[in-house]
Every structure is written in structure tokens, then in C-alpha cells.
Structure 1
Amino acid sequence: MQNTIFKNFINNEWVESSSQKTLSSISPMNKHEVVGQVAASDVQDLEKAIQSAHEAKIQWRKLGQHARGQFLFKVADILESRLDEIAETMTKEMGKTLPEAKGETARGVAILRYYAGEGMRKNGDVIPSSDSEALMLTRRVPVGVVGIITPWNFPVAIPIWKLAPALVYGNTVVFKPATEAAVTAAKVMECFSEANLPKGVLNFITGSGSVIGQGIIDHPGIEAITFTGSETIGREVLKAAAAKGIKSQVEMGGKNPVIVTKDADIEKAVEGTISGAFRSTGQKCTATSKVIVEAPIYEAFKEKLLEETKKIKVGNGLQADVWMGPCASESQFNTVKEYINIGQEEGATLLLGGEVLDQQEYKDGFYVSPAIFDNVQPSMRIAQEEIFGPVIALIKVADIQEAIDVANDTKYGLSASIYTQNISSFLKFADEIEAGLVRINAESAGVELQAPFGGMKQSGVGSREQGEAAQEFYTEVKTIFIKE
């Protein structure tokens, strides 16, 4: 795998970049291991990709929704046949454990089949007309050429939950993955390539964010753009889309709370908190980040949380007994270390973890032990800012109202959960919490492919992703009036 170079996929051909330069993808488990190389594309390559998508869009639209869905069924079968290989690549490239990587790849298969099924579902409505001799109806039509920019933390699921609806609803695509996960993305693209979509329908291009990502954002030939990633780039997407008058959809992360009430099942709450906070090394946009606990059970919850967190095995995600892998990159590793220092400087108490693991089998990777902070004030940076790592901020509150107030005290609003046995508490929480995804007696990080997904406040702007809601972004409504 070390010598494998993955090219761009443009107009159904795997082609070198104009620069003939490459970028290396480094394994976070061993910084000396090159997982693969991808094209370091330039603006000439991007022009070719966008032109290819434009040339293909009319015929792809005319093909019909059912036929487009059949292509996705083919891709799903191919991806499923390569599940183990692609999951192993994902683990090597971005560090999540192999069971998690297999689960994500299987989810990609399920997403493809879900949207393939959209090929047989309605794409409009008949509406009564005031003219009794007329027929009035609506049709959903594609927006055109869609730019897709995806992050490194879910290198199979996030690209597919954007690609699949974009394609089945009749759009053509220019897709740029994060460089840190571009080898995994290239292997997913091989599945689409093998399914023999018509020329130019799906174009895959790798390169730096400053050149290719920004190029997609600014290019007049992009007719809609969907982005998942940092808040900084998300704002650039929104500005550029507004200036061009095109659709945009951005997801920019979260600071996701879990509330534990005094009547909660402590064991269940601890289990969900650990899974939500530390699976995928906390590198989920829906990961649990601050844990807000009512005073009567605070000490008991904290004791159980520490006890169970100590059992976590950190290491190489390919090893069967490893529960948590490394940070996905040196940059993310440094960010996590910085926030652990910030928490201590702010006066919070580091109860457990937060240690850089750099001895023996850890010495060449980006490993840090899961961290738990106590004595956290809601205004502290570790309680306000997205860390995107295995760090929990514990906050003690007097009652459910204070808990909800603290949970809402953030600029983000992606996901939130509560553990309680009290009906009035979870109804109050569901009503008052400012988050797009609300979960009761379940971890904050659960997302189901058939349900709308997206955030409030500064977590996201634009229509929801996944499920039937995806149709809102990838199509426009055309009203048709027919009279003899």
C-alpha cells in the first residue's frame, strides 16, 4: 500500500494531476508509514472536473430517477464486497478502530441502498387547480453541478451520504475529500468507477484545501455546494454561495452536552457518556464534550465514570483488544494537547488522563489517553469550544433548569442527550434544548441514516442531510400547469 498512488477520477478516467505532484497520507498510528499517495491537483485539474460534470448533467438528468437508483445498487454491492479492505485502509489512515471502521463502511452500504430505493419513490405532487379543466403538479428537478467537500473523520459515511442523494436526484458531482483521508475516499471512488456510471457524472479530485477546496467554493460553474468541516471554512462557503446566489449546506461541528439527572440510571449514563465522548477518539461532530450532572448524584456518577474510563485500552486500531485509537493527525494531536493545557490553566482539575503516550508501541503515533476534567465552569474554553478529541468537561448543577441553561450556553447546537427516568424532565429537555439532534437515554453521538441530520445556531446552515430531507438540498421544485 505504501507505494500506491491514487489519481484523480475525471470523466470516467483515472488521470494524473497537471502538476504530476502527489501528497502523502500518513498513518496516525505510525508517522513513518505512508498509507498511500494522492494527486496534488491544481486549478487546471479542477477546471477539467467541473467541465466534465457540466457536459454530463443533461443526459444524467434525462436518464431518469429509477435508472440512476440502479447504479447506486451496483455501487452498494461493490462496496460491500470490499468492506474489509476499505475498513482496514480507514483504520490505517485515520486511526479509528477496525470494528468502528467496518461499522462505518457497512453504514455506507446501507446509505447507498437507501438512496437507490429513492429511484422508485415519488418526486412531486399533484395539486388541485382553481381551473377545473387544468392539471397542476410539481416535479423535483436537480440543481445541477454539486461541489462536495468532506472531512477526514468519517471518510466513507459522510462522502456517501452526500454523493448518493446528489446522484439519485439527478445532479452531477465534483468531489474533494480531506487529504488526511483521501486514500480511503479513493477506494470508495473505485467502487463508483467499477459500477460504470456515465462519463462525467462523478468527478473525484484531491489536493490542498487552499487550492482545490477554495477553487470549488469560488468557481462559477459550481451550482450548489455541500460542506462538512471547520467553522472557518464553512463561513467561507456561505459567503461565496450567497455572493453567487447558489444553494449551500454546511455542517461546522458542535459542543455536545449530555445531562444526567438525579434519578438517572447511573450505569447506563456512564456507558453512554464514555461511548459518546471517546469512541473514534472523540473525533465526531456529535461527540459528547461536556457532561452536566445534578448535584445529588454528581460524586457517584464521577466515581463510576473514572472507574470505567480507566479500563479503556488505547492503541493501534487494528489490534482486537484496542478500544480507542490515536488522534487522526499530528495537527489534531497538537490541538488536543493544547486544550488539555488550557483546561488546567483555566483552573479546572484534570482528574484522569490527558497524557501523551509516546513510549514503546506508542512512540511513533499520535496517542493521548482519554481526559476527564472536574471543577469546570460553564464559561471556560474547554466548556465552550469544540476540541474534537477525547476530553470530557464535568459540570455540577443544582437542577434540570440550570442543566438545560448550561447545555444551551454555547454557540453550537448540533446534538444533545439526557439521561433521566422522569417524564417531565425529558419533555422539558426535548422542548427547550437548542440542538438539531435530541436523544433521550442514549448517547449524543448516534445518527441514523433515514432521519434528518443537522444543527442549529452555528453548528450548521442550510437544509438537513440524510433521509428524505436530503431531497430539499439536491433538488428544486418546478410547478407545472397543464391545460388543453
Structure 2
Amino acid sequence: MSLLEAVLDPITPTTIVDVAKSWNVVLAGTLLIVIFLSSVIFLRQRSRLLPQGWNEFIHNYKFPAESQPNWSQHYGSQAAGDDEIRSKPSGIYNPNQPQFIHSYCPATGQYLGRVPASTKEDIDTAVQRCQVAQDAWKKTSFEERKVVLRLLLEFLKKNQDQIVRIACRDSGKTMVDAALGEIMVTLEKLAWTLKHGEHALRPSSRAGPANLLIRYKTAEVVYEPLGVVLAIVSWNYPLHNILNPIIASIFTGNSIVVKCSESVVWSSRYFVEMVQSCIAKCGHSPDLVTLVCPWPSDADYLTAHPGISQATFIGSKPVAHKVLTAAALALTPVTVELGGKDAAIVLDEHLPSWRQCDGIASVLMRGSFQSAGQNCIGIERIICEPNAYDGLVKVLTERVPQLRLGSSLDDDDDKNIDVGAMVNDSRFDELERLIVDAVTRGASLVCGGQRYNHPEYPLGSYFQPTLLVDVTPEMEIAKSELFAPVMVLMKAENAEDAIRIANLAKFGLGGAVFGKRGSAATEKVVRDMKTGNIAVNDFATFYVCQLPFGGVNESGYGKFGGEEGLRGLCLAKSVCRDRFPGISTSIPAVVDYPLQNMTKAWKFVRAMNAAAYAASVKEFAISLGQLLRNMM
């Protein structure tokens, strides 16, 4: 029945139903049209906020051949054309060529090339170029800065395949892991900054003085760029770890020197060039962002450089001591993000039946095995109440052994790869030792536990996905940061005991609790777990949500990310003004220099303080009278 026929027919219950259905169709169609037209208008407006020719720039950008699937370069010294170059991925330093950093693919061992190590002269040049570029950049508006971030966002979104391949080729991770840990979080950082960054950096109006006598003053804080900032970033997320501080520095009006890890200098170079090209396309100096990668012997020169206004360090505790010692020479403030031993506490109330374990097992496996476990906020300890423990052991014992190792860039399209390579094999001996020690002390090794000699990639750095159960707090593996594809399960008597176990670690970066939403037990874990960040019924989403990120204890101090992260890259300048025209501070004659009568001056000041902070009308009136008498 058509809508017109329904209206003309005699009204019956069937007619009413048909009319309602017809109107629903009309309303739904209208809503779809409105959404479509709004989307078209939005996309056109966004296009006008990007530089001319942006689409062609994005689609015609040239990426390195090495990042292509099944890249056919040979292994080791043949690829390098130099007999002195080692054929193992761990050989980034060659004593016969100390001026170069040699790069290898961790998944295959293929030689990617060599990059000149930055010298002290290179560091001076990088800082100087940043200073010159920042002098002009600090005068730009937020809208001008947003154009650069919009172009970066579109660039990443439309070139995901190519960018992910670069990250995978240099880090060994899978494309799926890179899409989640590199692309998605970076797009979120860009989108959040575009939407909320300006609000975070607007002048902040404050309450002003509590003193009743000087309430004619206003108070605010304004946020101004610091100058040249430094980011010393780790290798585990070569794209995101570089772009995260770049995005914040660009938006806050700073320039930035990025010091990448020698382990991923090959990809870092391309990622910084990519950002520089986007900046130049928007009409600004590409020197806003510079990359340096000195050997450790010259790293202190960078950290202590007088041209650096603020630094962020992501890495290990031993290196942090050296960074902070060097930074202290120039009194450079440093935000420090170090290791983690994140615990996920699983309460019985979250899993009333072991048959419901599959969903949480998926989250825990992603938290433990993503990027081969090389994640500072990866789940390193799963601490369960008894019923949850039994259920998870049963499910994970079946699922973890099914994980497959390989190179998602080079394996056949129909071959599924779950876990990629580790960045190198330097910690394999220690990992195997910790696992053997745990088994000796009573833990049960369900699967894995040792390095993996891949039949197709004999020079790849692979470690078997490992599941250890019956781990106890006194075992060394429960205390040491693993940074590897090793899942550790521990049983707790109850929620209180689980919190106790979680807090035994010397780290405190992230954590998780799985329980009923809003329950007393869940909220107790949130409240009592000693960590800088915690996710409820999820894994690491506090980072995606752009909350201030940082830890406690040996996980470091200070915060980056979110509003606090943006403001941390600014000089918080306090500004005090007169609230009304013609009313401003004047010095009464009784306390003007030189003092004419010390006794009167003292009584005046005493009465002024009493009146300013009076607790009652009577006290105010008496104090005001004393103040006026002593003004004469």
C-alpha cells in the first residue's frame, strides 16, 4: 500500500500500521539524504583547509623499494657490496666503519643499507636549523598549524600500506600489529589534537587572589612555545614513537629534534622525511623537524645541548640515568618514560563460567603478543582469582600454541602470520634463562620458551610465543621486564591478594582490571593498583584516549599525551591584570619608602592582613577601622 492510498482509505488498525511503516521509510530516507549532503559539505570544507594540490602530493609520494612485499635484495655482505658488513641483524655497529649505522630487517636478516651516524657537528647544525625555523613558526596561528596536521592525517590514512611496510621492514612486526600500534594510534593523536588541542592551549582564567582588598586583580595562565624540544624515542614503534612528539611540538609552536634508536634509523629517516615534505607542502620550513642518530658516545652532547628547552626520554632505566645526568648540566627538564611490568587482574565476577573465557583471552593475547610483546604497556602478568585462573589456563593452553611466526611482508598472501620477529636477538639468552629458572622453581611451560630458527628466514630474530602458568611472585620472571612474546599467568586468592601481587613489581606504568562494571571489587583494584594508567575491562585504551601518559616508581615520571602533554611543551606564563579601568595598585604613604613612622607602618600592615582574610563581618570592620586610622 502506498502512502497516498493509506491516507485515503478508511482508517483501520492495519491502515495505521501501514502509514507508520511508510512514514518510517520516508524519515529514514530523508535522514540518509541529510547525512549524505552533510558529509559532502564537510569533505568539501575539509579540502579547502588543505594546501592546494594536496591530493596529488599524497598519491604521488615516493616510498623506498625495500618496503615492498617480497623485496628481492640478497642477504648480508652481498647486498651491501662490502665484505666488512656482517650478515647478522645484530651487527649494526662495524668497528671498521664506525661512521655508519648498518640496518637489517629483523624478520629476514636482509641488509637495508647504512646511515651516517650523527656527529657533534651534525647535532649543532640540527639544533640551529630548528631554532631558525621555530622563530617563524611560533608566530603562526592554530589554524595554520592545523593545516599541517590535517595533511599529515590524510597522508597517513591514504598511504597506510606503504607506511606500515616501512615500519615492518625495520622492526620485524606484522602488518596487522603495525596498523594497530603505529597507524591507528597516530591517526587518533592527530584527530584528537585537531579537535581538542586548541582548547587545551587557550589562556586559562584563574580564580585570582583570595585577599578581599586586592580582588580588583584578574589572573590567567597563557601557554607559549618553549623553543626547540628534544624527543629521545625507543625502537619498538618506529612510526608512532616519532610522530607522537612531532605532532605535539608542531601544534604547540615548537620545533623538534628527534633522536631515534640505532635499531630503526632506516625507517626513522623515511618517516621524518615524510613529515618534512608535508610541512614544506604547507609552505613552512621543513627544518621544524630534524632527525639525529649519534652513537651512545655522542648522545650526552645532544642531551646537554644548551639549545634544547625540554626533553622527553623513552627507554630503559640505565640509559635514563645517563640522559638525566647530561640534561642536568644545562638544567633541561626531562619527562621520563621507562619500563613496565603491567599486570592484568582478572576477577572471578568477570568470568562466571570458563566458557566465557574466549573473549577476554583474545584481549589478553593481543596485550601479550602484539609486536612480539615489545610493548611498554603490554600485559606482562595476568593475575587471576581462582575460578578465572582455571578457565583462562584451559582456553589459553589451547589457543597460544596455535600462533604462527613469520614475516607478513614476505610470506605468501594465503599464509597467515600472527607474531613477527623481535628487533634483534640480543636478549634471547636472558629470556631463555628466566623461563628455565621459572620452570625449575615450579612454573609449568605450556608452549614456547626458546628462540625459533625459522626455516625460511634463518637470519630472522624470532622467539617462540610462550605460555607459562603457575608462576609465583618470588620467581625472577614475575619481577623482570621481559619485552618479549611471553605470557605469564599467576593465581591469587582473592582481589586483595591480586592487588598485592600486582604492586610487588618495581614498575608502575600501566595495568588493567577485568570485573563487573562499577563493582566494589573492580573499583578497589582501580583505586589501589600503583600505576600511572589503568584500563577497565580492556587493554591499554588509556593511551588511545589521549589521557596524560606516564608512570610511577621505576617506570619514570612526568606525563606526555593529552592536555597535560601539550601544556608540558609550553611555558606556562602567569599574567595578572587590573579588573577595572582606573583602579590599580598604589602604595599608601604610611608604607612608602622611606618609612616615616615604623610603628604606624607596622600597625597598618597588621590591620591590612587581618581585614584581607577576615573570618567575619565584625573582624573585617574592626580591622578596616584600624587600617584607616593608621593611614593618617
TM superposition score normalised by structure 2: 0.69
Of 57-66 and 19-28, more deviation after overlay is shown by: 19-28
Q: 2:369 pairs with 274, 278, 281, which one?
A: 278
**Rounded Cα–Cα distance in structure 1 between residues aligned with 2:425 and 2:157:** 31
Of 267-276 and 246-255, more deviation after overlay is shown by: 267-276
Match of 2:322 in 1: 236
Per-residue CA shift, 1:268-320, capped at 9, x if unaligned? 33222211111111110011111112223433321211111122112113245
CA contact (8 A) 1:351 1:371 kept: yes
Matched, 1:452 2:548: yes
One-letter amino acid matched to 1:209 = P
Structure 1 residues 135 and 425: alpha-carbon distance in aligned structure 2, compared to 1, 3 A threshold: closer
CA contact (8 A) 2:531 2:551 kept: yes
Q: 1:208 pairs with 278, 295, 314, which one?
A: 295
Match of 1:40 in 2: 117
**Rounded Cα–Cα distance in structure 1 between residues aligned with 2:535 and 2:158:** 33
Match of 1:317 in 2: 408
Q: 2:446 pairs with 345, 351, 358, which one?
A: 351
Q: For 1:365, what is the secondary structure of its paired residue?
A: coil
Per-residue CA shift, 1:144-166, capped at 9, x if unaligned? 21111111111111221111111
Matched, 1:303 2:391: no
Matched, 1:255 2:325: no
**Rounded Cα–Cα distance in structure 1 between residues aligned with 2:165 and 2:205:** 48
Q: 1:69 pairs with 146, 167, 174, which one?
A: 146
Match of 1:28 in 2: 106
**Rounded Cα–Cα distance in structure 2 between residues aligned with 1:177 and 1:163:** 12
Matched, 1:162 2:245: yes
**Rounded Cα–Cα distance in structure 2 between residues aligned with 1:119 and 1:184:** 28
Report the Cα offset of residue 267 of structure 1: 2.5
Q: CA RMSD in A?
A: 2.5
Match of 1:13 in 2: none
Structure 1 residues 372 and 474: alpha-carbon distance in aligned structure 2, compared to 1, 3 A threshold: same
Match of 1:222 in 2: 308
Q: For 2:505, what is the secondary structure of its paired residue?
A: coil
**Rounded Cα–Cα distance in structure 2 between residues aligned with 1:119 and 1:287:** 27
CA contact (8 A) 1:174 1:202 kept: yes
Specify which structure has the higher proportion of helix.
2
Structure 1 residues 135 and 82: alpha-carbon distance in aligned structure 2, compared to 1, 3 A threshold: same
Q: Which runs of 5+ in 1 are unaligned?
A: 6-18
Larger Rg: 2
Report the Cα offset of residue 135 of structure 1: 5.3
CA contact (8 A) 1:333 1:366 kept: no
Match of 1:384 in 2: 479
**Rounded Cα–Cα distance in structure 1 between residues aligned with 2:98 and 2:386:** 61
Match of 1:111 in 2: 189
Q: Which has the higher contact order (CA 8 A, sep 6+)?
A: 1
**Rounded Cα–Cα distance in structure 2 between residues aligned with 1:388 and 1:359:** 20
Q: Which runs of 5+ in 2 are unaligned?
A: 1-64, 67-72, 74-78, 81-96, 352-356, 582-632
Report the Cα offset of residue 329 of structure 1: 1.2
Match of 2:273 in 1: 190
Per-residue CA shift, 1:384-425, capped at 9, x if unaligned? 010100112222221111110001111111111122237111
CA contact (8 A) 1:148 1:225 kept: yes
Match of 1:15 in 2: none
Structure 1 residues 259 and 294: alpha-carbon distance in aligned structure 2, compared to 1, 3 A threshold: same
**Rounded Cα–Cα distance in structure 2 between residues aligned with 1:87 and 1:71:** 21
**Rounded Cα–Cα distance in structure 2 between residues aligned with 1:286 and 1:294:** 22
**Rounded Cα–Cα distance in structure 2 between residues aligned with 1:304 and 1:448:** 28
CA contact (8 A) 1:53 1:201 kept: yes
> Aligned runs of 1:65-144 on 2, under 5 Å?
65-103=142-180, 104-117=182-195, 120-121=198-199, 122-127=201-206, 136-144=219-227
CA contact (8 A) 1:414 1:437 kept: yes
CA contact (8 A) 1:66 1:120 kept: no
Q: For 1:25, what is the secondary structure of its paired residue?
A: strand
Match of 1:14 in 2: none
Report the Cα offset of residue 176 of structure 1: 1.2
TM superposition score normalised by structure 1: 0.89
Match of 1:365 in 2: 460
Structure 1 residues 359 and 205: alpha-carbon distance in aligned structure 2, compared to 1, 3 A threshold: closer
CA contact (8 A) 1:278 1:324 kept: yes
Match of 1:393 in 2: 488
One-letter amino acid matched to 1:29 = A
One-letter amino acid matched to 1:245 = L
**Rounded Cα–Cα distance in structure 2 between residues aligned with 1:272 and 1:114:** 24
CA contact (8 A) 2:223 2:573 kept: yes
Matched, 1:375 2:470: yes
Matched, 1:54 2:131: yes
> Aligned runs of 1:407-426 on 2, under 5 Å?
407-421=502-516, 423-426=519-522
**Rounded Cα–Cα distance in structure 1 between residues aligned with 2:121 and 2:500:** 51
CA contact (8 A) 2:454 2:460 kept: no
Of 75-84 and 140-149, more deviation after overlay is shown by: 75-84
